[in-house]
Amino acid sequence: MIRQINRVTAVIIFLLLALIINISYIQVFNARELRGQPGNQRVILTEYSRERGPILLGSQSIAESTPTLDALKYLRSYPDESIFAPITGFYSVLYGATGIEDESNDVLAGNDSRFFVDRLQQLFANREPKGGAVRLTIDPAAQTAAMKALNGRTGAVVAIDPTTGAILALASSPSFDPNLLSSHDAAEIQMNYEELDADPEQPMLNRPLAMTLPPGSTFKLVTAAAALESGRYTAATQLPGPKEINLPGTDVQLGNWNDKSCGPDDITTLQQALEISCNTAFAWLGMEIGANAIGDQAKKFGFESQFDVPMSAAISRFPIDPNQPQTAMSAIGQFDVRASALQMALVAAGIANDGVVMKPYLVSQLLGTDLTVLQSTNPVAFGRAMKSENAKILRDMMVGVVENGTASRARISGIAVGGKTGTAENVPGDPAHAWFVGIAPAEGAKIAIAVVLQNGGGATEVSGNALAAPIATAVMRAILKQ
Amino acid sequence: MSTNLIRYRVSNRRSAELALLIGAWLIGVFAWILVDASTAASSLGGWTSLVSAGVLLLITHGVVRWQAPYADPLLLPSVAALNMLGLAMIHRLDAAAAQRAASNGSPPPTPDVYLQLTWMLVGLIAFIVVLTFVNDHRRLQRFTFTAGFAGIVFLFLPLLPVIGNEVNGAQLWISILGLTFQPGELAKVALTLFFAGFLVGRRHSLALVQKKIFGIGIPRGKDVGPLLLVWLVALLVLILERDLGTSLLLFGLFTVMLYVATGRRSWVVISALLLAFGGTLAYRQFGHVQIRFDVWLRPFDDANGNGYQITQSLYGLANGGIFGTGWGQGYPQLVPFAKTDFITSALGEELGLMGLIAILLLFAIIIERGARAAVATRDPFGNLFAIGLTTVIGLQTFIVIGGVTRLVPLTGLTTPFLSYGGSSLVANYIIIGILIRISNAARAPEISDAQLVLRQNVDTK
């Protein structure tokens, strides 16, 4: 009987050993996979048990965490509701995070490796762990002005400091209130999310980054830059500018927006063609310098490149190997040319910054839990888009557009504003998109801006000057304190 | 010289037991303090509870010193450490429930830890009663058939109309005067006594082999009878009360005892075949068995439905990792039944792998010490009874912890000494009381060296 007892004991001890091996597997080797399971609330609960760091503009916080009494110890709130939503994104128990809340999560949640020392101090001082803060480049006055000027119409505004690439305003309209998704009431969040998601106006879409549209006449800046860079053209070079031209190989007649010829004897100059946005002259110019030259110029401004600001922007496109009529249409920003508002702001910024395009960015500083600066962003050049002297010529031409041409509504007294309007046809029958791209002041520019109203933002008469330019003016005034 | 040797060998080690018992109590005290510190729970009544638990353990130790001076010194402290850890975790889960109620604005729920403390008192009293009134375990053999009858009655008591009580789909409880009790827990002690008493007299006839098939000796038909009977009883419990855990435990226990009594491996093979047959039958016939089995194989397929308990348990363990979140720092309250069946995942989350290994080692010590008493006691009934009781604790630990960690299908049992639940605690303290009584008999210097030598010769023959 003793031998059997010993055997039974050995079996039971072996069973306990099997338990230990199995638990070791779960708690050590399988733990990472289990933590990543979609139904695992513990990750979220742990995140919410820490004070998440604020998102700052200067010293103003546009996203902050306040203590609560429920199981999720901190509530994320957005004091300015919808104004900064395109930047902050949302932070939700059910739907995760978007925008800066997502991109800078490691810092805000305090998971970043740079917080290791902070963590140790908190551990020893027995203080509650906290997240770090993120300071953004956004100018609150510019952002507020942009959102106010958009006034709920479907559209986007991007304003950039051309010398650094710092994004001053990133407006998307219509916007949403991220507080609707950051509450701790799952049913309420789900209802709000489904409502926002089903809204045909797509309030959660980040239009300045995600929406690419035909840029229309604002793309003439790129065509003009390509012409200047070819060395064969100056502002005064004469171009044919008839009332309409035939697109080669087709029976399509391309006309001007006002059905008029662009100058006496159907002759115009590059300068004048830009000022009055002469389609026939630019279509001819496009076919003259060729799709490759325009495509290369577009690439130098950032087309075909991915920008992470840190949110990823949609890539802007110039068509590959277009035929002659397609090239003509592409040169005036139609056919398959697609640009985001961010991209068109970069075009303006490159021209304003003596031809050098700076990489756009939103995060200026990462801060520790005590708001000491951990890391500052150094501006980085994306590349040179054009020669300095050609940039100067193009700037003067843009000032001409505002002073004498189609962008009269962009004028600000006492300041030389440069700009270019666009009224881009999309699907036949749909209202056109209203664009404005501008810089102010033209020399030593503090701001490069792009405004777009999708399908004219619902207006019956669509024109870049009437609809988009005033929005840009409002934002420029806010930045220049005019 | 030889007297000294014997004295040395049987040195009763009561002071070691006292020191370890204080250590076990301190583990609970520190755990309790950490829970209060990290959950900001009001520790009102906390110190009273801790001190009363300490006093209870001290009194118990005194009774052991008086009634069973040669008893194994490790059994009581190991059990006390588990009990104190269980109390601390129940207190911690009470704090979570209180917090939850506060945030919902609902009135604070009654803490369970004080009731558990009361059951600890009842359990220790039962332990003391066993130790005081059973001064020779061999006398228990007289109650073989009484115990067998009582065990069956206990098992089927919850099925009675008025007092029977169904909780979460299983009919395991009886409710008398508002107090609920799980008689199945006592049934396992009674049935172990019955098996030991029944088998000890028939072990030689059971060991007789009539013929061999494929090299496996088949016992005589009339000897297979009791095995089939118990198998049927276990199946009946399973069917009528939907209690997978208890039927598995009883079946495993009887197999072990048959094997130990007869020394024939054929019983184990037959049992395994019966288990496979019964299991397949149950899987085919009962939806709840099928669900348990499917959830075991693919828990994440239905993580919000039938797989919720086990997946939450695994998430808790994963959150704990190697060192655990620390007392009060995890989310053990997210696992359903965290105080009862799933207390292991709660402890695994907050104490980590290290904590669980320590807890399993405590169980290993109890098993080893129980087995040592079983080996060392001088009568066959004592051998069989002690290994039976040890097996009950070992198998129950394996079935429930294996279940909540997905090593085996989840069947639902309490974790001995850790889980919230009075019946289980009382029954397990009775088991420890008997084991301590048997170990006392085994270690007491009643016989001479010569007899010891003789006995060893007999055993190793």
User: How confident is the model at residue B99, as a pLDDT?
Assistant: 81
Per-residue pLDDT band for B432 (boundaries 50, 70, 90) equals: very high
DSSP three-state, residue A139: coil
Nearest of B214, B207, B256 to residue B393 by alpha carbon: B256
User: How confident is the model at residue B401, as a pLDDT?
Assistant: 95
DSSP three-state, residue A254: strand
Q: Are A443 and A407 in contact (CB under 8 A)?
A: no
Nearest of B204, B245, B246 to residue B223 by alpha carbon: B204
Strand B164-167 versus strand B170-176 pairing type: antiparallel
User: How confident is the model at residue A225, as a pLDDT?
Assistant: 93
Say yes or no: B158 contacts chain A, CB-CB below 8 A.
no
* Token representation of residue A249: 């190989």
> How many Cα atoms occupy the beta-carbon half-sphere of B149 within 13 Å?
4
Q: Where are the domains of chain A?
A: 212-363+381-480
Measured CA to CA in angstroms, residue A349 lies from A197, A297, A344, B3 at distances of 34, 14, 9, 102
Measured CA to CA in angstroms, residue A268 lies from A240, A280, A308, A408, B415 at distances of 6, 10, 40, 20, 93
Which one has a higher pLDDT value, B273 or A408? B273
Q: B303 contacts in A (CB within 8 Å)?
A: 37, 39
The C-alpha atoms of residue B420 and residue B425 are separated, in whole angstroms, by 8
Strand A91-92 versus strand A96-97 pairing type: antiparallel
Q: A1 and B380: CB-CB below 8 Å?
A: yes
Asked if pLDDT for residue A237 goes beyond 80, the answer is: yes
With the C-alpha atoms ordered A272, A274, A277, A279, is the resulting torsion angle positive or negative? positive
* Cα pseudo-dihedral A160, A161, A165, A166, rounded to 10: -80
Asked if pLDDT for residue A422 goes beyond 90, the answer is: no
* Token representation of residue B281: 């039958």
Which one has a higher pLDDT value, B144 or A44? B144
In the 8-state DSSP scheme, what is residue A258?
A: T
If residue A67 lies in a helix (H) or strand (E), which one and from where to where? strand A60-67
The C-alpha atoms of residue B41 and residue B284 are separated, in whole angstroms, by 48
Rounded to a whole number, what is the distance in angstroms from the first to the last CA of chain B?
A: 29
User: How confident is the model at residue B416, as a pLDDT?
Assistant: 94
Peptide bond into A319 cis (omega under 30): no
Report pTM: 0.69
Residues 6+ apart with CB under 8 A from B40: none
Residue B103 CB neighbours (<10 A): 15
User: How confident is the model at residue B128, as a pLDDT?
Assistant: 95
The C-alpha atoms of residue B402 and residue A186 are separated, in whole angstroms, by 34
Asked if pLDDT for residue A13 goes beyond 80, the answer is: yes
Q: B405 and A41: CB-CB below 8 Å?
A: no
Helix ranges restricted to H, A199-353: 207-210, 220-230, 270-275, 279-289, 291-301, 324-331, 341-352
Q: B397 contacts in A (CB within 8 Å)?
A: 16, 19
Domain A212-363+381-480 has CATH 3.40.710.10: yes
* Cα pseudo-dihedral B152, B154, B159, B164, rounded to 10: 180
Choose from A37-51, A401-415, B138-152, B211-225 the range with maximum mean pLDDT.
B138-152
User: How confident is the model at residue B3, as a pLDDT?
Assistant: 46
A130, exposed or middle or buried, with CB in 10 Å at 0-12, 13-18, 19+?
buried
Nearest of A457, A395, A468 to residue A430 by alpha carbon: A457
Q: A31 contacts in B (CB within 8 Å)?
A: 317-319, 321
The C-alpha atoms of residue A407 and residue A399 are separated, in whole angstroms, by 9
Strand partners, A436: A421, A451
Helix ranges restricted to H, A126-238: 140-150, 179-182, 186-198, 207-210, 220-230
DSSP three-state, residue A51: strand
Per-residue pLDDT band for A430 (boundaries 50, 70, 90) equals: confident
The active-site residue, picked from A65, A82, A172, A217, is A217
Nearest of B5, B43, B17 to residue B365 by alpha carbon: B17
Asked if pLDDT for residue B159 goes beyond 90, the answer is: no
Q: A12 contacts in B (CB within 8 Å)?
A: 367, 371, 390-391, 394-395, 398
The C-alpha atoms of residue B45 and residue B117 are separated, in whole angstroms, by 12
Asked if pLDDT for residue A400 goes beyond 50, the answer is: yes
Model confidence pLDDT, tens digit, residues B75-125: 999 999 999 999 999 999 998 888 888 777 788 888 888 899 999 999 999
Asked if pLDDT for residue B442 goes beyond 80, the answer is: yes
Amino acid type, B177: L
Say yes or no: B409 contacts chain A, CB-CB below 8 A.
no
| Residues B433-457, mean pLDDT to the nearest whole number | 73
Q: How close A203 gets to chain B, by Cα (Å)?
A: 31
The C-alpha atoms of residue A451 and residue A435 are separated, in whole angstroms, by 6
Please report the residues numbered 257 through 296 in chain B whose beta carbons come closer than 8 angstroms to any beta carbon of chain A: 259-261, 263
* Token representation of residue A230: 């070819």
Say yes or no: B132 contacts chain A, CB-CB below 8 A.
no
Question: CA triplet B405, B409, B415: central angle to 5 degrees?
Answer: 55
Stretch among A251-260, B215-224, B225-234, B343-352 having the lowest mean pLDDT: B215-224
The C-alpha atoms of residue B292 and residue B223 are separated, in whole angstroms, by 34
Q: How close B162 gets to chain A, by Cα (Å)?
A: 39
User: How confident is the model at residue A74, as a pLDDT?
Assistant: 85
Nearest of A428, A481, A423 to residue A457 by alpha carbon: A423
Per-residue pLDDT band for B2 (boundaries 50, 70, 90) equals: very low
**Mean of per-residue pLDDT scores for chain A:** 87
Does the annotation count A217 as an active-site position?
A: yes
3-state secondary structure chain B: CHHHHHHHHCCCCHHHHHHHHHHHHHHHHHHHHHHHHHHCCCCCCHHHHHHHHHHHHHHHHHHHHHHCCCCCCCHHHHHHHHHHHHHHHHHHHHHHHHHHHHHHCCCCCCCCHHHHHHHHHHHHHHHHHHHHHCCCHHHHHHHHHHHHHHHHHHHHHHHCCCCEEEECCEEEEEEECCEEECHHHHHHHHHHHHHHHHHHHHHHHHCCEEEEECCEEEECHHHHHHHHHHHHHHHHHHHHHCCHHHHHHHHHHHHHHHHHHHCCHHHHHHHHHHHHHHHHHHHHHCHHHHHHHHHHHCHHHHCCCCCHHHHHHHHHHHHHCCCCCCCCCCCHHHCCCCCCCCHHHHHHHHHHHHHHHHHHHHHHHHHHHHHHHHHHCCCHHHHHHHHHHHHHHHHHHHHHHHHHCCCCCCCCCCCCCCCCCHHHHHHHHHHHHHHHHHHHHHHCCCCCHHHHHHHHHHHHC
Strand partners, A338: A317
In the 8-state DSSP scheme, what is residue A412?
A: B
| Residues A221-247, mean pLDDT to the nearest whole number | 89
Q: Are B163 and B174 in contact (CB under 8 A)?
A: yes
Nearest of B299, B292, B329, B301 to residue B314 by alpha carbon: B299
With the C-alpha atoms ordered B447, B451, B456, B461, is the resulting torsion angle positive or negative? negative
| Residues B419-435, mean pLDDT to the nearest whole number | 94
Angle between helices B380-404 and B422-443 (to 10 degrees): 140
Per-residue pLDDT band for A451 (boundaries 50, 70, 90) equals: very high
Nearest of B171, B313, B194 to residue B250 by alpha carbon: B194
φ and ψ of A86, to 5 deg = -60, -20
Say yes or no: B87 contacts chain A, CB-CB below 8 A.
no
Strand A133-136 versus strand A55-57 pairing type: parallel
| Residues A140-152, mean pLDDT to the nearest whole number | 92
Q: How close B3 gets to chain A, by Cα (Å)?
A: 27
Q: How close B397 gets to chain A, by Cα (Å)?
A: 8
Partner residue opposite B394 with nearest CB, options A12, A24, A32: A12
Question: CA triplet B28, B30, B35: central angle to 5 degrees?
Answer: 95
This complex has an ipTM of 0.90
Partner residue opposite A13 with nearest CB, options B314, B364, B402: B364
Q: Which residue of B has its CA nearest to A30?
A: B318
Strand partners, A167: A160
